[in-house]
Amino acid sequence: MSYIEKLLENVEVEWKPISNALIRTKGTKITAEHMKTLHSNQAPLKIFAGGKTVAFVDFKDIPEKDINREPSIIVKSRGVIEFEYFDKPFSHKNEMWSYHSIDKFLDIKFVYYFLKINEPYFQNIGSRMQMPQISTPDTEKFKIPIPCPGDHEKSLQIQKEIIRILDAFTELTAELTTELIAELIARKKQYSYYRDQLLNFEDGQSRQIEWKSLSEVATIGTGSRNTNESIIGGKYPFFVRSQEPRTINEYEFDETAIITAGDGVGVGKVFHHMIGKYALHQRAYRIVITDKLVSSKYLFHFIRNNFAKYLETTSVHASVTSLRRPMFERYQVPIPSMDEQERIVSILDKFDTLTTSISEALPKEIKLRQKQYEYYRDILLTFPKDNLTA
């Protein structure tokens, strides 16, 4: 902060409309369908459309006059209103426009960062239209700050230092995201490996096991609730199909159970282990262990890992995959000793906790870094007399 304060100390600012500071360029006449036809992942020229839509084409596919070879700010003016910086040859659809600088003392990326923090201003303008959009006058009259207008060298030095700091934050955030995702993938692979080893009882391992049908060790039942009975902020979990539990104010069961949906997306793949009071949809199943020599948590891990394979040959395929009680009842499960069950549960629960904590930490850490970045960005790009329009 002391460095930033020193960098911006007593800095005078001149505010210029974009029309007086930058060169506006038009796009090329091209349709979304034509972009799709011309697109090739290996092609060198990037064509921008609205939102995240892009295509890569050959230089010969676009008129030379419509190709921009200057580092530029691309104005996405319809639908999702935002700015994007690009420093390689490009073009864009002709309803969009872009800006570049021919002033060697005005760095276009500095202007990009300033426009980026003011996106809400333009989005507010665009929101007044039925289809969110802005026009060229909206950006042309928008004023941008030029630090130290009387000293071009110092002005450029300040601009480039602001760019360096913000680029560093952007890169650090991207690196952190990549590292956290790589860590999560590695832990999930490690978890999958040990889980498969621990729950594989068919490869001649020496562990003493007994195979039993699920009906021999558990009771299988359904619930009686309807989806529309769920509420926001209810007292008890309400399991509906294969999604995360909803809530309800009246419970139906008070027990330890393995729960899955009877139909819908993810059926037979998404299981929950419940301890305590809950309610259950009429098309969801509860598996309650009745054999004292079987651990509910062990069976939960085994079923969650293996039941989908079993369903590949036994499920009824209609508009969605559906389950019937007999499919559960005849499902064969291996029963090792209680000590072995507890050992398996201990290991897999630890991996579950680890991968869950990383999964939960990932968005939180990224959000924290983004807030830190935005904090310094706002300080670096807040200048006196911050009026936005001419």
Alpha helices (H) along the chain: 2-7, 18-21, 32-38, 108-117, 119-126, 136-140, 152-198, 214-217, 296-314, 325-329, 338-380
User: What is the model's pLDDT at position 315?
Assistant: 53
Per-residue model confidence (pLDDT) at position 177: 81
Residue where a domain terminates, one of 336, 364, 382: 336
CB atoms within 10 A of CB 150: 8
My answer on whether 132 and 250 are in the same domain is no
Handedness of CA 62, 67, 71, 75 (dihedral sign): negative
Question: What pLDDT does residue 318 have?
Answer: 47
The share of the chain scoring above pLDDT 70, in percent, equals 93
Alpha-carbon span 57 to 53, nearest angstrom: 13
pLDDT tens track of the chain, all 390 residues?
566 667 777 788 899 999 999 999 999 999 989 999 999 999 999 999 988 889 999 999 999 999 999 999 999 998 889 999 999 999 999 989 999 999 999 999 999 999 999 999 999 999 887 889 999 999 999 999 999 998 999 999 999 999 998 998 888 888 888 888 888 888 888 888 888 888 888 765 556 889 999 999 999 999 999 989 999 999 999 998 767 889 999 999 999 999 998 887 777 778 899 999 999 999 899 999 999 999 999 999 999 888 888 877 765 554 446 788 888 999 999 999 999 999 999 999 988 888 888 777 777 888 888 888 888 888 888 887 644 444
Last residue in a domain, options 129, 146, 163: 146
Residue 389: its pLDDT value, please? Answer: 45
- Look at residue 69 in the predicted model and tell me its pLDDT: 95
Instruction: Let me know if residue 153 belongs to a domain.
Output: no
Q: Are the CB atoms for 333 and 217 separated by under 8 Å?
A: yes
Q: Any idea what the CATH number is for the domain that residue 135 is in?
A: 3.90.220.20
**How much is the pLDDT for 324?**
85
User: Is the residue at 59 inside a domain?
Assistant: yes
Whether residues 123 and 227 fall in one domain: no
> Which pLDDT does position 296 carry in this prediction?
95
Q: How high is the pLDDT of residue 203?
A: 60
Token duo for residue 128: 């007044």
3-state secondary structure of 284: strand
Does residue 316 lie within any of the structural domains? yes
Predicted pLDDT of residue 45: 96
Does residue 85 lie in a domain region? yes
DSSP 6-20: HHTTT--EEEEEHHH
Residues 102 and 218 in one domain: no
Residues whose CB is less than 8 angstroms from the CB of residue 36 and which lie 6 or more positions away in sequence, other chains included:
55
Number of domains in the chain: 2
Distances (CA, A) of 346 to 263, 305, 336: 31, 16, 15
Whether 214 maps to a domain, the answer reads: yes
Question: CA angle at residue 138 from 134 to 143, to 5 degrees?
Answer: 145
**Is the same domain home to 129 and 256?**
no
Which residues constitute the domain of residue 281?
Answer: 209-336
CA angle 4, 5, 7 (to 5 degrees): 60
Residues 224 and 142 in one domain: no
User: Which single residue is written with the structure tokens 């300033």?
Assistant: 114
In a domain? residue 79:
yes
